[in-house]
Structure 1
Amino acid sequence: MTAGTPCAERRARAALTRATEPGDETFGGWLRRFGAVRLLDLLTGDRVDAEAHLTGVGAQRLDGYRARASAAEPERDLASAGAVGARFVCPGDTEWPSQLGDLGAAAPVGLWVRGGPDLRLWALRSVAVVGARACTPYGAHMAATLAGGLAGSGWVVVSGAAFGVDAAAHRGALAASGGTAAVLACGVDTVYPRGHAELIARIAEQGLVVGELAPGDHPTRSRFVLRNRVIAALTRGTVVVEAAHRSGSLSTARWAQRLGRFTMGVPGPVTSGLSAGVHELLRGEGVLVTDAEEVIELVGEIGDLAREKRGPVLPRDLLRPGCARVLEALPARGTDSVAEVAREAGTTPDDALARLVELHSLGFVERHSDRWRPAAPLLDTGGPSRGGA
């Protein structure tokens, strides 16, 4: 059992995960006002007492809460979680990630957690990688590469275990022998999508599987969307890899922005509809990233800087400035006038001749009697040289 929370509080919160849907702010307001034990008593006790205290909803909705709370069997749920190696973590536990409090009344009642690592410690150094389910090979490659780079640098990759980008991100982290956590829109003992049974089992063995819903609960469309707020709140930042305008992964980015987390996007072809949502994000507050180093530079500590990117260093890049100017001044067709080269390079004829001799010894120019011209390999590179062919 996770230390820190009294048994009565843990039992009550476990029961309340059956009574409400994720992200219900009315219910969250009651929980903050009355506490878990008192709220459960109100929901399962006298109706008149419940109506007097639990305001802000109609009678039919209140009856729904009461029916679900009365049917809850927290001891059975806690036992079911234990049977698959899961535990129930709630506020007051040492493992509870305090940043979830940023969600206010929409914060989870508690979290069912499957896997060995400490959720709070992992969340302190985590990044969400999310995106389209029907992603392209480019999207899958970028998600896996980003996740592998992050995991290899000691960051935990958080995603939703869905098809497409989510799966690629989890697999990239696993392949790098790093940490990854899957936040589900169902019970942690429920495999969804069914095609990811092996993947989710691997995540539970090597990382964490997390969910708000009680064991056995099934996913719904609204639960997928609401699950995204937990992904955003748990992590230091969210990276979106491929997303159409109506992609659900963009809701994770919007939650991240709302919570003051870093929001990033990986650009794609402007002709692809799966890049449209990401590009719209980048036109707003999102930051463009192309690799794990750029993500870490944004979400990491001071000094976590991405390496400067540049093209390959060519031999002519290493020339001293004076030689480089003379080489640039030498016409591609060649010349027998050192004075002309000196004038174009802004130096004296004697200095230009000395530079030409040095360039000849280095293989940058050829000399035919009194005529100087750039060496053939230099011309083949298409590098800048005055005069044209």
Structure 2
Amino acid sequence: MNEALLRELVPAVIGVLVRRGADFAAAEDAVQEALIRALETWPADPPRDAKAWLVTVAWRKFLDAIRAETSRREREFVVPAESEAVSVDDSLWLYFLCAHPSLPPASAVALTLRAVGGLTTRQIATAYLVPEATMAQRISRSKRKLAGVPLDQPGDLVTVLRVLYLVFNEGYSGDVDLAAEAIRVTRQLVAATDEPEVAGLLALMLLHHARRASRIEPDGRLVPLAEQDRTRWDTALIAEGVVILQRALSRDRLGEYQAQAAIAALHADAVTAEETDWVQIVEWYDELLAFTDSPVVRLNRAVAVGAADGPLAGLAALAELDSSLPRHAAARAYLLERVGDLAQAADLYSAAAQVATTVPERDHLIREAARVRQLLT
């Protein structure tokens, strides 16, 4: 059973049902039922055309639901033969449907991650740092809001870009491999629009994806950027990302994704970690803060300041931020170690491990705490 194939087919099948008149919520429910049926039957009897099978079964599930809800009149629907399932890629179209103007951005992102990205409600809740039940309610409200609404208005591009970036990050984490899918759809969006920020997002994805092979050891250990084997970075992806970024920047319409891509490009350009141009990176973080005054960006900037101007300067910048911010303890531990306060650094690494959101991150921080404590002996 190829579960990755099933995940890839979800947006196309939902798209077919919506085009035939199903509202979004009903289409998503029908496709989920078809997926369950596929998991039950495909191992013993795989179909010749996986997409056509899913379209046929999902459409029948939709019809069954319609007939169960109303018996006032008999409705006639033509269920297509397997050959009728078109091969058109509906992923990009469905992203825009989920970014419907009637939905607030946070709901649109969550709904798209569920319906198009193929993430579970639990995975989305983890990404948002909220309880799973809270996220389930948010997604259900979004689907109810779209029920019966004509999905003929264009979605919001800003929301679509945010969704694509979140899908990419989820795939990059290794929990669900969606990074390549996010890159593929973003390429489509670049071809369909003339917005430099779209190109900036694609460049950012490519530059991060180029380092993917070096981020995790075969045993699952997380490898920090400074310790990664740079010979394993994909130089072709880096070159492509830099070219795309340079073209976007030449348009003189800077945005947050272009600024993030510029930071990633500077990391990719350094042959060794010691050769990283941290001064320029801090300058780009300042540009980024003009677009999004995010505490996370400020935290990353503080670490960059510590590398550019010394750990005491980094600690001073970090002191301006809320200590409850995710990864604050880890950043402070990193800077304190470089100041020479090993005891406090070890304690903070341990504290950071307790609130880490992924197993690789937690294990990495535990090892860092042990390593620093060993230096004290």
Same fold (TM over 0.5): no
- TM-score under structure 2 length normalisation: 0.29
More strand by share: 1
Higher relative contact order (CA 8 A, sep 6+): 1
Structure number, greater radius of gyration: 1
TM-score (norm 1): 0.29
Q: Which has the higher helix share?
A: 2
